[in-house]
Structure 1
Amino acid sequence: MSSPLSKKKPVPSPDMSSKVDIPIILITGFGSFRNVLVNPSWEVAKALKWYVEWDRPVHIILHQMPVEYNSVNTKIPEYWLKYNPTLVIHLGVSPGAKEIRLEKYAHNTNYAALDNLNTIPENKCCICDAPEEICSQLPLENVCAFVKRKSSLPIAVSDDAGRYLCEFIYYQSLYIDSKRCVFIHVPCLDENKFTTEHLAETIQQVVYELLRHVEPLPVLNSNGQYGKQHNTTKIINTKPVTLKS
């Protein structure tokens, strides 16, 4: 478990009616699943909004995602359209990780692990008729090298997002705009090194550096959508099975 957060004075959300160009950052974390009752990704997400002090104006929007394919499949495209975010940060936990991991890409198929509702996507696929692999267009290697010089926590670029809800949500966002999203895996919390505060402070440095590289916001078309047509994936119910580790 992590040491308790020393709560800082909340910073009021900036006035979005202002003409100042304030970055809109959508941050998601997951809820409980399997034997993870308190998901570190959501604890870190909350800390990024309520406990970390930002030295420049940002507008952070938080959403906790249930570990359910159907919810991710419907909500993520909705959030992109609703908020038109400058940057999207998806957070998830990797129980065996010994470092923060910036995920490089996500796959479209082979989602065979059951979610919290004992469902998997139809054909084990994320988005119908879409590329098998999409890579983030953000310079993650450079961002990682920069943050390493500023943080005491280990951080690395990863090429395996896990083929579960973490990779599923990442593919959804990469398909919409691969130039303004990243998935970050965090380790399990502990009392000394990987505390909620330390993880949030390091990821804050990642966000600062990513904001230097995102392109101007995309323009929605006349239908209120981005250029790509998002094909909804059907979710099928299955009976619980014993999964291989």
Structure 2
Amino acid sequence: MEQKKTVIVTGFEPFGEHAVNASWVAVQELEKLGLGHEINLHVAEVPVEYQAVQSLLPSLWKQQLPQLVVHVGVSGMATTVTLEQCGHNQGYMRLDNCSFCPESRCCMEGGPDCIQSVIDMDAVCKRVNSSGLGVSVSVSKDAGRYLCDYTYYMSLFLGEGRSAFVHVPPLGKPYSAEQLAQALRAIILEMLELMEHNKGKKHCLHDQ
């Protein structure tokens, strides 16, 4: 019998003007929906603190041995559900919920400037947008140099690229928590399918 795949999905706690963080609300809705019988879904709320992320992420990757980790964050500027292609190492100057920011301004001293996800976000975006879901999806290459970007970079590093980041708009602008959860479910299932499909041809970029 094939072992169930494990997928971890995280949202963030409230911060700044986001007294309710749409990302965690949407992830809790997703937990109710589930990802089908073949997939173990674990959800976690991530503190908006650099040091907490440093300790939480390695334990998530080690304990659960996930196929994929998807981090969800809220962006006050987003009007679509936005797939982030890469995480960045440097430029972290904004203070977190503990009024802390890394002295080095980076995630990992000596780490690569940018780490790409193994998932082709353009392909995921196209598939979900053409599925008639009613939620608009777009792709970005800048996750914003705050806890979202920081978390994504760490996760990409720990998981050797088997991570994804999704920015959602605040609740009701324009989507409800249920709509966001439906979109996350569709996005994650597409990501898993693409990863499965690309297993044998890691180094071949001709057919993208």
What TM-score, normalized to structure 2?
A: 0.90
Cα separation, 1, equivalents of 2:194 and 2:181: 20
Flag the structure with larger Rg: 1
Show the 5 A alignment for 1:1-245.
19-50=1-32, 52=33, 54-150=35-131, 151-190=133-172, 193-214=174-195
Structure 1 SS opposite 2:195: coil
Change over 3 Å in CA distance of 1:176–1:54 after alignment to 2: closer
Structure 1 SS opposite 2:152: helix
Do the aligned residues in 2 keep the contact of 1:86 with 1:214 (CA within 8 Å)?
Answer: no
Change over 3 Å in CA distance of 1:105–1:53 after alignment to 2: closer
Alignment coverage as a number of residue pairs? 196
> Which portions of structure 1, spanning 4 or more consecutive aligned residues, are displaced by more than 6 angstroms?
none
Gap runs ≥5 in structure 1: 1-18, 217-245
Cα separation, 2, equivalents of 1:54 and 1:208: 7
**CA deviation vs aligned residue, 1:192-225 (integer Å, no higher than 9, x gap):** x400111110111111111113369xxxxxxxxx
Cα separation, 2, equivalents of 1:170 and 1:60: 19
Gap runs ≥5 in structure 2: 198-208
**CA deviation vs aligned residue, 1:26-55 (integer Å, no higher than 9, x gap):** 1110001112111000001111111x2544
Larger fraction in helix: 2
Percent of pairs with identical residues: 34
Q: CA deviation at 1:57?
A: 2.5
Do the aligned residues in 2 keep the contact of 1:68 with 1:115 (CA within 8 Å)?
Answer: yes
Q: CA deviation at 1:21?
A: 2.3
Do the aligned residues in 1 keep the contact of 2:34 with 2:41 (CA within 8 Å)?
Answer: no
Cα separation, 1, equivalents of 2:129 and 2:37: 21
Do the aligned residues in 2 keep the contact of 1:180 with 1:215 (CA within 8 Å)?
Answer: no
Change over 3 Å in CA distance of 1:28–1:54 after alignment to 2: closer
Structure 1 SS opposite 2:194: coil
Aligned match of 2:204: none
What TM-score, normalized to structure 1?
A: 0.76
